[in-house]
Amino acid sequence: QQPVQSPQAVILREGEDAVINCSSSKALYSVHWYRQKHGEAPVFLMILLKGGEQKGHEKISASFNEKKQQSSLYLTASQLSYSGTYFCGTETNNNDMRFGAGTRLTVKP
Protein backbone atom coordinates (compact mmCIF):
# COMPACT_ATOMS: atom_id res chain seq x y z
CA GLN A 1 0.00 0.00 0.00
CA GLN A 2 1.32 3.37 -1.08
CA PRO A 3 2.27 5.87 1.65
CA VAL A 4 0.44 9.17 1.66
CA GLN A 5 2.45 12.32 1.05
CA SER A 6 1.43 15.89 1.69
CA PRO A 7 1.34 18.49 0.38
CA GLN A 8 1.12 17.58 -3.31
CA ALA A 9 2.91 20.75 -4.30
CA VAL A 10 4.55 23.73 -2.65
CA ILE A 11 6.03 26.94 -3.98
CA LEU A 12 8.71 28.74 -1.99
CA ARG A 13 10.87 31.80 -2.28
CA GLU A 14 14.60 31.30 -1.79
CA GLY A 15 15.41 31.20 1.89
CA GLU A 16 11.98 29.96 3.01
CA ASP A 17 11.38 26.68 4.83
CA ALA A 18 9.16 23.74 3.95
CA VAL A 19 7.96 20.52 5.52
CA ILE A 20 6.88 17.45 3.56
CA ASN A 21 4.98 14.71 5.33
CA CYS A 22 4.70 11.00 4.68
CA SER A 23 2.43 8.56 6.48
CA SER A 24 1.70 4.87 6.22
CA SER A 25 -0.97 2.55 7.56
CA LYS A 26 1.58 -0.26 7.92
CA ALA A 27 4.27 -0.88 10.51
CA LEU A 28 7.40 0.41 8.88
CA TYR A 29 10.97 -0.79 9.02
CA SER A 30 12.43 2.13 7.13
CA VAL A 31 11.61 5.39 5.41
CA HIS A 32 13.64 6.69 2.47
CA TRP A 33 13.61 10.16 0.98
CA TYR A 34 14.56 10.86 -2.63
CA ARG A 35 14.53 13.94 -4.85
CA GLN A 36 13.88 13.69 -8.57
CA LYS A 37 14.44 16.51 -11.01
CA HIS A 38 12.53 16.55 -14.27
CA GLY A 39 13.89 13.99 -16.73
CA GLU A 40 16.41 12.62 -14.25
CA ALA A 41 16.61 9.62 -11.95
CA PRO A 42 15.73 9.89 -8.26
CA VAL A 43 18.63 10.81 -6.01
CA PHE A 44 18.93 9.51 -2.46
CA LEU A 45 18.65 12.05 0.35
CA MET A 46 18.44 9.98 3.52
CA ILE A 47 17.07 6.87 5.15
CA LEU A 48 15.55 6.48 8.59
CA LEU A 49 15.18 3.14 10.31
CA LYS A 50 12.63 2.19 12.93
CA GLY A 51 13.68 3.45 16.29
CA GLY A 52 12.36 6.95 15.81
CA GLU A 53 15.55 8.58 14.66
CA GLN A 54 16.12 11.96 13.17
CA LYS A 55 18.76 12.63 10.56
CA GLY A 56 20.28 15.69 9.01
CA HIS A 57 21.93 16.43 5.71
CA GLU A 58 23.15 20.01 5.26
CA LYS A 59 19.97 22.07 5.48
CA ILE A 60 17.73 19.08 4.87
CA SER A 61 16.73 16.91 7.79
CA ALA A 62 14.09 14.30 8.51
CA SER A 63 12.35 12.59 11.39
CA PHE A 64 10.55 9.28 11.76
CA ASN A 65 7.83 8.73 14.33
CA GLU A 66 7.60 4.96 14.59
CA LYS A 67 4.49 4.98 16.77
CA LYS A 68 2.55 7.02 14.23
CA GLN A 69 4.28 5.53 11.15
CA GLN A 70 4.95 9.04 9.97
CA SER A 71 8.02 10.78 8.60
CA SER A 72 8.66 14.42 7.84
CA LEU A 73 11.30 16.02 5.64
CA TYR A 74 12.42 19.49 6.67
CA LEU A 75 13.93 21.87 4.15
CA THR A 76 15.38 25.01 5.70
CA ALA A 77 16.60 28.16 3.98
CA SER A 78 15.64 26.69 0.62
CA GLN A 79 17.86 27.15 -2.42
CA LEU A 80 16.97 27.12 -6.10
CA SER A 81 18.67 23.73 -6.38
CA TYR A 82 16.09 22.24 -4.01
CA SER A 83 13.43 22.36 -6.71
CA GLY A 84 12.18 18.97 -7.81
CA THR A 85 9.77 16.25 -6.80
CA TYR A 86 10.35 14.67 -3.41
CA PHE A 87 9.34 11.08 -2.85
CA CYS A 88 9.17 9.19 0.37
CA GLY A 89 9.67 5.46 0.09
CA THR A 90 8.58 3.09 2.82
CA GLU A 91 9.53 -0.48 3.59
CA THR A 92 8.08 -3.04 5.94
CA ASN A 93 10.13 -6.03 7.05
CA ASN A 94 9.48 -7.60 3.64
CA ASN A 95 11.78 -5.24 1.73
CA ASP A 96 8.76 -4.05 -0.25
CA MET A 97 9.57 -0.48 -1.25
CA ARG A 98 6.53 1.68 -1.87
CA PHE A 99 6.86 5.28 -2.98
CA GLY A 100 4.41 8.03 -2.17
CA ALA A 101 2.86 10.05 -4.97
CA GLY A 102 5.45 12.78 -4.56
CA THR A 103 5.58 16.43 -3.56
CA ARG A 104 6.51 18.91 -6.26
CA LEU A 105 8.66 21.66 -4.76
CA THR A 106 9.36 24.84 -6.67
CA VAL A 107 11.82 27.39 -5.30
CA LYS A 108 11.68 30.82 -6.90
CA PRO A 109 14.28 33.61 -6.68
Partner 1 sequence: DAMVIQNPRYQVTQFGKPVTLSCSQTLNHNVMYWYQQKSSQAPKLLFHYYDKDFNNEADTPDNFQSRRPNTSFCFLDIRSPGLGDAAMYLCATSSDKSYEQYFGPGTRLTVT
**SS3 category, 80:** helix
- Rounded distance, CA 85 to CA 35, Å? 6
Task: Kindly tell me which of 23 and 30 has the beta carbon lying closer to partner 1.
Answer: 30
Which one, of 76, 79, 49, 74, lies nearest residue 64 by Cα? 49
Beta carbon of residue 50, minimum distance to partner 1 (angstroms, whole number): 10
Chain positions contacting partner 1, by CB under 8 A? 2, 29-30, 32, 34, 40-44, 47, 49, 87, 91, 95-102
Beta carbon of residue 87, minimum distance to partner 1 (angstroms, whole number): 6
- Rounded distance, CA 35 to CA 42, Å? 5
**33 near 84, Cβ under 8 Å?**
no
Task: Kindly tell me which of 18 and 28 has the beta carbon lying closer to partner 1.
Answer: 28
Beta carbon of residue 2, minimum distance to partner 1 (angstroms, whole number): 7
Task: Kindly tell me which of 32 and 82 has the beta carbon lying closer to partner 1.
Answer: 32
